[in-house]
Amino acid sequence: MSTRRQFIQTLPAVGTAFAVAGHLVLEDNPARAQVATVPLKEHFHPKGKAPSKYTLDVLKQARGGLPFADQRDFEELKKGFIAPMTDFKIMADAGHVAWDMERFQFLDKQDDFDSIHPSLLRISKLNNNYGLYEVIPGIYQVRGFDISDITFIRGKTGWIVYDTMVSREVVRAAWKLFQQHVGQGLPVSAVIYSHTHPDHWGGVRGIVDEADVRSGKVPVIAPVDFMDFTVSENVYAGNAMNRRLFFQYGLLLPAAPHGYVGQGLGQAVSAGAMGLIAPTRYVEKPIEEFEVDGVRMIFQNTPNTEAPREMNTYIPDMKALWMAENVTATVHNIYTLRGAQIRDPLSWSKYIGEALYRFGLEAEVMFASHHWPRWGNARIQEILRGQRDVYAHLNNQVLHFANQGVTINEIHNIYEVPKGLQDKWYCRGYHGSPEHNSRGVVQRYLGFWDCNPATLIPLSPRDSAPLYVEMMGGAQKIMDRGRQLHDEGKYLLASEIVNKLVQAEPQNQAAKDLLADIFEQIGYQQENPGLRNSFLAAAYELRSGIPQGETANTSSPDVIRAMSTELFLNFLGIRMDSRKAEGMRFTINLITPDNGEKFIVELENATLTNIKGYQAEKPNLTLTINRSDLEQTMMGAKTLEAQLADGSAKVQGDPSILKQLASTMVEFDPRFEIMPGTKGARVAAKENPYEASDLRLPIAE
The footprint of Zn ion (CB under 5 A) covers 148, 199, 325
Q: How far is the CB of 323 from Zn ion (least distance, A)?
A: 12
Of all helices (H) and strands (E), which one includes residue 367?
A: strand 365-367
Cβ atoms within 10 A of the Cβ of 468, count? 17
Tell me if 268 sits within 8 A of 147, measured CB to CB: yes
Q: How far is the CB of 221 from Zn ion (least distance, A)?
A: 17
Q: How far apart are CA 224 and CA 286, in angstroms?
A: 10
Residue 191 or residue 478: which is nearer to Zn ion going by CB?
A: 191
Q: How far is the CB of 387 from Zn ion (least distance, A)?
A: 16
Q: How far is the CB of 197 from Zn ion (least distance, A)?
A: 5
Tell me if 107 sits within 8 A of 121, measured CB to CB: yes
Q: Exposed (0-12), middle (13-18) or buried (19+): which is 419, by Cβ within 10 Å?
A: exposed
Residue 388: CB partners within 8 Å, gap ≥ 6? 349, 352, 353, 356
Residue 163 or residue 541: which is nearer to Zn ion going by CB?
A: 163
State the SS3 of 645-685: HCCCEEEEECCHHHHHHHHCECCCCCCCCCCCCCCCCCCCC
Q: How far is the CB of 349 from Zn ion (least distance, A)?
A: 19
Q: How far is the CB of 47 from Zn ion (least distance, A)?
A: 34
Q: How far is the CB of 463 from Zn ion (least distance, A)?
A: 40
Q: How far is the CB of 111 from Zn ion (least distance, A)?
A: 29
Q: How far is the CB of 134 from Zn ion (least distance, A)?
A: 22
Amino acid at 86: T
Cβ atoms within 10 A of the Cβ of 607, count? 11
Residue 164 or residue 678: which is nearer to Zn ion going by CB?
A: 164
Pairing of strands 374-375, 159-162: unpaired
Residue 2 or residue 148: which is nearer to Zn ion going by CB?
A: 148
Q: Which residue is nearest to Zn ion (CB)?
A: 199
Q: How far apart are CA 56 and CA 62, in angstroms?
A: 10
Q: How far is the CB of 147 from Zn ion (least distance, A)?
A: 6
Residue 325 or residue 629: which is nearer to Zn ion going by CB?
A: 325
Using DSSP's 3-state secondary structure scheme, residue 202 falls into coil
The percent helix, strand, coil of the chain (3-state, each to 5) is: 40, 15, 45
Q: How far is the CB of 35 from Zn ion (least distance, A)?
A: 40
* Closest alpha carbon to 590 in 578, 600, 602, 604: 600
Q: How far is the CB of 325 from Zn ion (least distance, A)?
A: 5
Residue 508: CB partners within 8 Å, gap ≥ 6? 31, 475, 501, 502, 677
Residue 149 or residue 505: which is nearer to Zn ion going by CB?
A: 149
Q: How far apart are CA 57 and CA 649, in angstroms?
A: 67
Q: How far apart are CA 174 and CA 151, in angstroms?
A: 10
Pairing of strands 607-612, 586-592: unpaired
Alpha-helical regions (H) of 66-161: 72-78, 118-126
Q: How far apart are CA 170 and CA 98, in angstroms?
A: 7
* Closest alpha carbon to 402 in 390, 413, 391, 410: 410
Pairing of strands 188-192, 159-162: parallel
Q: How far is the CB of 370 from Zn ion (least distance, A)?
A: 6
Residue 303 or residue 677: which is nearer to Zn ion going by CB?
A: 303
Q: How far apart are CA 188 and CA 504, in angstroms?
A: 59
Q: How far is the CB of 513 from Zn ion (least distance, A)?
A: 37
491-504 and 509-524 helices, crossing angle to 10° = 150
Q: How far is the CB of 266 from Zn ion (least distance, A)?
A: 8
Specify which residues 649 forms β-bridges with.
625
* Closest alpha carbon to 321 in 238, 380, 260: 380
Q: What is the torsional sign of CA 529, 532, 538, 539?
A: negative
Q: How far apart are CA 427 and CA 374, in angstroms?
A: 15
Cβ atoms within 10 A of the Cβ of 49, count? 21
State the SS3 of 547-584: CCCCCCCCCCHHHHHCCCHHHHHHHHHHHECHHHCCCC
Residue 148 or residue 551: which is nearer to Zn ion going by CB?
A: 148
Q: How far is the CB of 138 from Zn ion (least distance, A)?
A: 24
Residue 330 or residue 437: which is nearer to Zn ion going by CB?
A: 330
Residue 647, sorted as left (phi over 0), alpha (psi -120 to 50) or beta, turns out to be left
Residue 169 or residue 199: which is nearer to Zn ion going by CB?
A: 199
Radius of gyration of the chain (CA): 26
Residue 325 or residue 520: which is nearer to Zn ion going by CB?
A: 325
Residue 293 or residue 306: which is nearer to Zn ion going by CB?
A: 306
Residue 148 or residue 305: which is nearer to Zn ion going by CB?
A: 148
Residue 96 or residue 371: which is nearer to Zn ion going by CB?
A: 371
Using DSSP's 3-state secondary structure scheme, residue 289 falls into strand
Residue 333 or residue 526: which is nearer to Zn ion going by CB?
A: 333
Residue 306 or residue 450: which is nearer to Zn ion going by CB?
A: 306
Q: How far is the CB of 200 from Zn ion (least distance, A)?
A: 6
Residue 370 or residue 436: which is nearer to Zn ion going by CB?
A: 370
Pairing of strands 188-192, 220-223: parallel
Alpha-helical regions (H) of 488-528: 491-504, 509-524
